[in-house]
Amino acid sequence: LCPTFFFSIASNHFLLTHPSEQKMSGIPLSRSEIFGQLRKELHDDEEFHQSDAHIFIIMGASGDLAKKKIYPTLWWLFRDGLLPEQTHFVGFARSDLTVESIRAACLPYMKVADAENERLAAFFRQNSYLSGKYADEGSFTRLNAHLLSLPGAAEANRLFYLALPPSVYQDVTSNIRKTQHVCHSIGGWTRVIVEKPFGRDLETSEQLSAHLSSLFTEDQIYRIDHYLGKEMVQNLMVLRFGNRIFGPIWNRDSVACVVLTFKEPFGTQGRGGYFNDFGIIRDVMQNHLLQMLSLVAMEKPTSTSSDDVRDEKVKVLKCIAPVSMADVILGQYVGNPTGEGDAKLGYLDDPTVPKGSHTPTFATAVLYVHNERWDGVPFILRCGKALNERKAEVRLQFTDVPGDIFEGQCQRNELVVRVQPNEAVYAKMMSKKPGMFFNPEETELDLTYGSRYRDVKLPDAYERLILDVFCGSQMHFVRSDELREAWRIFTPLLHQIEREKIPPIPYTYGSRGPPEADELMKRVGFRYEGTYKWVNPHRL
């Protein structure tokens, strides 16, 4: 039930609202009837409740990811009654912490209303914490003993979230397997959630995959890319395969190019040391943007089951040749003398960044999918930090209308899926300008979520994905062969950049990035008219 049901949540805009104060069996109810249906489906599902108890273990409970994302997400799911009632939360890290200190650190990110304080207290009563060393088997033996001491633990299902740096993945997963095997013999299942980066290149990724597969089966491993949990990324499948109007034009005959964009208006801000080890291609392009590309380009799967969807994504990636340096522009931001605050500082001004670093903070790359549907259509991936706006979107630009009778007054149609912020789907089209004259004008057909769904709350990406792990749905997680193909596409480029120490092009903090990137896009066929800009109707 779970995989299909959660797909219907994304496809039909089954969105969660804030819970009211009304209660049933101690669980706050939502004002939304759909929320009630979701809760009923989950709590009646036999697979979801094959065991009464679930234990969610946060490895790296002292870190920023746990504090800002994992604990708040677990709280929201618990608050809304979406988790099994007998779910225990166990933090594990090297730091000497208490549940109270974890609560204090997480509270600013948990968005707790005054009426929810009692429910929050109930959440933390089901929390515990243990300190230990990641490479020490004895620490994991103590952790296992603690898990077995929890109510219902003898048959409990266990979920391990690795909110950790990749350098300790091998030690942690090996110790989990050595000391947690009792779970397998008793009957509960074990699932491991692995955060990116999944290696630095094809070789290191394959080493990690081989290590994990020696300890766990593929259906136990959940490689999380949080972009796959975003509302509009999940909506891509429904737009494509749930609407007759898009099918006939979603191909090389009608699409001139596809642009996938990720822009941030801030720099590394003290995280330069971490970022410098990876760069923008590893951080964003090889995962987030390539995942969106595969959803845009794939063929219709035979069903919405996890493997059917991921099979089609892998087929697309296999059709993409390794990206060439001739189709890439790299950039690195410099300070803006007229800016304010951090905008005055360039990437190399960050004291955590090595002097003279060539790590790119901006990249535009052109990929081609060599199959019957997309042959010759450029897929333009662009991403960067310290740019002029915050935006993530998918943009399909269609070919010119043949037989122009309006003397060049018409611009190309575009379909835009705006992932963040201000989620929206809109189509740029030509219409007659109102009035006495017979002049075409560019306008839009607009589905802006903030206007159409005013009284609903879009779940956070981590909410969707962690709930998927509880339910055993891997549709929105990265499979090992999918990961292998993604690294195959980018590894030769990454090695060339590092081997030849290719210097990135400087661009000013707060700009659109290097002008050379716009020139590359124009050269491969993207046409930027600059006559129209989408306006969020929710703010009018």
Strand-strand pairing, 328-334 and 362-368: antiparallel
What does the alpha-carbon distance between residue 90 and residue 191 come to, in Å, rounded to a whole number? Answer: 15
Tokens representing residue 67 in the block:
């504090």
Beta-sheet strand order (sheet of 127-131)? 127-131, 86-93, 53-59, 157-162, 190-195, 221-224
Sign of the CA dihedral running 391, 393, 397, 398: negative
Strand-strand pairing, 53-59 and 157-162: parallel
User: Measuring CA to CA, which residue among 239, 234, 261 is closest to residue 250?
Assistant: 239
Instruction: State yes or no: is 146 an active-site residue.
Output: no
What does the alpha-carbon distance between residue 48 and residue 38 come to, in Å, rounded to a whole number? Answer: 13
Tokens representing residue 395 in the block:
């943009």
SS3 304: coil
Strand-strand pairing, 86-93 and 255-263: unpaired
Partner residues linked to 371 by β-bridges? none
Buried b (16+ CB within 10 A) or exposed e, 442-473: bebebbbbbeebeebebbbbbbbbbbbbbbbb
Q: Which of 288, 358, 370, 538 is catalytic?
A: 288
* 374: Cβ contacts below 8 Å, ≥ 6 apart: 251, 252, 255, 297, 319, 368
* Residues labelled catalytic: 288
